[in-house]
Chain A
Amino acid sequence: MPRDLSGNIHRSAPVSLMVDQRPVQAFAGETLATALLAHGISAFNHTASGQPRGPYCNMGTCFECQVQIATAANTEFRWVQACMTTVREGMIINTGSALLKHPQMPGQAGSHSDETHN
């Protein structure tokens, strides 16, 4: 999607991101929502039943635009609202998830899901 067609704006420094292990170019000051949409990514996360979801309110109230970004350790992720998060050089982003990725959560730790349901 083209960023801007009016010729009215001069953007500042380019910023490199990794989105789903692929490089994406953004500009300093942009939100993750802008960067991802501009790159053609429309589904930022999935619901529990697998429905894709993308930005709705673009102002931090709906939580539809959540993506996971790696923490400093790069082994853990946290959810952020893409529309409220400014891009930063080297950010590592995962889209398409429904639940938080964490080293202690299945399927790394092995499945303990043989619960007895009556």
Chain B
Amino acid sequence: MTNFDIAVIGGGLIGCATACYLAEAGASVVLLEGGQINQGASGQNAGSLHFQLEHRLIQNLDVQLRELEFYVGLAKLSIQDWLTIDSNLGCDTQMVIHGGLMVAETPEQASLLERKSAIERSQGLSVEILDGAEARRLAPYLAESVVAALHCPDEGHCNPRLLTPAFARKATSYGARIMTGTQVQAIDRNGSAWTVRIRKSSPEHSASDVAPKTIRCQMILNAAGAWAAEVAALANLHLPLFPIGLTMNVTEKVSPVITHLIQHVGRKLSLKQTDDGNLLIGGGWSSRLRQKQGVWQSQQAAELQLDSVVENLRTAADVVPLVKNLRLIRSWTGITCITADQLPVLGEVAKAPGFFVAAGGSGFTYGPTYARLMSELMLTGQSSYPLAPFSPARFAGLNAFMGQS
């Protein structure tokens, strides 16, 4: 079959989850993934469900105030989606909401916590400021250097290794067709429809039918994460989505002791303990994108930077001293994408009717929610939560001269 209602490009969380919602609603869906399901940032990230404003978002607090308010509103929706995820998917994704603590180690950082908590509280996010002693009563594993912490009981984590494959299985059960090892080569408008030319990038041994070379569809969802701008370019569109290389570290297993998602308001840190007992340590430490004559080599993994690993672990050990007693088992890099203004791009590109984008902006924490809202938007033209603040329309100027006639 080569005709589908919708082609979803990208087999990460947003792609698989949207494909799942679309297929569940009765649309015929094909999902095109160049490598393996969950191979990109969706499977490489820390699995944090962080609803407080993160370190990266409050760097320019004054400038971004308006957008941030909409973002926090999305959080409440997302918390509800996470609470029902396991029952909806019919499996255990190790989703847990046990609370998050964003710590401060200096008075300046503590006042930053106060400022952001005002925004969060005004949007209905339940947060409370704790002083150092209170924080250590709640979390005895925190260092003496912690002078304050913002407690958000609605934060937690989910297992990125399990989540996306669960959506992929569910999507398949609703009739979505998933094609891995399949690269998109061209995207063209054909009257009111789209044609997507594809190429098998590697031998495919699980497919029972012969793979088509061209897909015809009414709508396209660009959920290609780090590669979303590349995919948009195939349709002659500009998207201000930029790849960034990040770093993750995992320690050996220990008995259950870290009971919160730990973040830091003034340093790059995320720390949690998984169900299996390992500590997952990240927080935005950079890895190096491969470049060749200034061009990002997008098919190669980002290069691990030793200094990022060392400083990430130093930060973790400063905040949770027992980290020093553990062994590092593995460090890895992942490439995610950010938009020019740190917020997601969600919606239809006006210059290319039927071409939708869902990328950027905490794609793991909000992924299932983005997916649900996007499926509503694509099928009915409306979404149950305003997506207008995140629409590609805010970058419409970039595509004034682009698109296809």
Contacts and interface: CB of A to CB of B under 8 A. Distances in A.
B141 interface: yes
A112 B140 CA distance: 10
Interface stretch (A2-10, A29-37, A97-105): A97-105
Interface string B99-124: 00000000000000000000000000
B254 A115 contact: no
Contacts of A99: 253-255, 277
Interface stretch (B25-33, B321-329, B372-380): B321-329
B65 interface: no
A117 B255 contact: no
Interface residues of A, number: 18
Nearest to A79: B327
B256 A113 contact: yes
Given A99-B253, A104-B140, A116 B325 contact: no
B255 A106 contact: yes
A79 B257 CA distance: 18
B178 to A, nearest CB: 26
Contacts of B254: 99-100, 102, 105
Interface string A69-110: 000000010110000000000000000000110101110011
A113 B253 CA distance: 15
Given A113-B259, A115-B98, A100 B86 contact: no
Q: Which of A104, A109, A110, A118 is the most central at the interface, judged by chain B CB atoms within 10 Å of its CB? A: A118
Nearest to A107: B255
A116 B96 contact: yes
Interface residues of B, number: 24
Given A48-B277, A102-B254, A118-B96, A109 B140 contact: yes
Nearest to A71: B325
B114 to A, nearest CB: 26
B255 A118 contact: no
A79 B85 CA distance: 38
A112 B259 contact: yes
Contacts of B95: 118
Given A99-B254, A118-B86, A104 B259 contact: no
Contacts of A48: 253, 277
B350 interface: no
A96 B52 CA distance: 42
Interface in B303-325: 321-322, 325
Contacts of A100: 252, 254-255, 325-326
A118 B86 CA distance: 7
A12 B182 CA distance: 65
A50 to B, nearest CB: 14
B396 interface: no
A12 to B, nearest CB: 32
Interface in B291-308: none
Contacts of B259: 112-113, 115
A62 to B, nearest CB: 15
Contacts of B257: 104-106, 109, 112
A72 to B, nearest CB: 13
A104 B141 contact: yes
Q: Which of A76, A105, A110 is the most central at the interface, judged by chain B CB atoms within 10 Å of its CB? A: A105
A57 B139 CA distance: 40
A117 B96 contact: yes
B380 to A, nearest CB: 29
Given A99-B254, A104-B321, 14 more contacts: A48-B253, A76-B325, A79-B327, A99-B253, A99-B277, A100-B254, A104-B322, A110-B140, A112-B139, A115-B96, A115-B256, A116-B96, A116-B98, A118-B97
Interface of B: 83, 85-87, 95-98, 139-141, 252-257, 259, 277, 321-322, 325-327
11 contacts: A48-B277, A99-B253, A99-B254, A100-B255, A102-B254, A106-B256, A112-B140, A113-B256, A113-B259, A116-B97, A118-B97
